[in-house]
Structure 1
């Protein structure tokens, strides 16, 4: 069972989830990631985005009361990093210039009777950078060099064998001419 499903099952068993619309968003480091949450209420509701830290502790990121008002960041959330916006049907959590530490399980929901009620869960997967490390580049260069050396040797051996064949042919012709 994946981390996302295990966590959702755990939260469901604790009675924290009423409806789970789970999805995965994959991005490269440095890109922006936008997570979506359906606006589940036809009247203004205090909607909260939070993130599961260390697989057990939900931490508040930002909240919004309705789409006409600005969002409020929770303690410790950097304004340059997070942008929460809303329209009538969707609440958007934009995470700017993601890095590997932003990977994790994000939840959208609201609080009732002191407990969070999850509406959507999204696993944000920040893929590792595809830049080449120095040892890979050195190994690749060495492989190409050795391949060129092998090809050069093959041509040299073929040329040597061709030279030997011509020498034998010339020697045989001289013997033939001497014998005739």
Structure 2
């Protein structure tokens, strides 16, 4: 599968088969986040791999929208360090995208659970502290997201996108 095919086939998968992810497969997905670029090549992101069932179940309580983690076979928590780079949020977000695309390439389904909430500091504090306490994440890290994954239970129809002309503009915003 090439990158463009993985981009096209990427879907939010929240129902997983009862099948474990081999270490070799998961490590390649993790490496996609590790090798993702960062602004000025600064080490502003961290990745925490979670496979332990009780921890995955506890992470599901981070927000009311992450119950799918109770079925996930693994998760990668992506953090950013504002003291290292002013581009920490972009760096962590790019890592999330690379992880998701490599998961698709590996035949896994993945779902994105936003933790950091830039416009609701109170909600972000609650979400981040839930994850921070569970996984012993230092205070200088913002917890950006949790990507849960596993082998998909079934096949989803292709995603319907907005009209391209509503999204793509040339030379000026028209």
TM-score normalised by the chain length of structure 1: 0.28
The structure number with the bigger radius of gyration is 1
Q: Which has the higher strand share?
A: 1
TM (norm. structure 2) is: 0.28
Query: Which structure would you say has the larger RCO, counting Cα contacts within 8 Å and 6 or more residues apart?
Result: 2
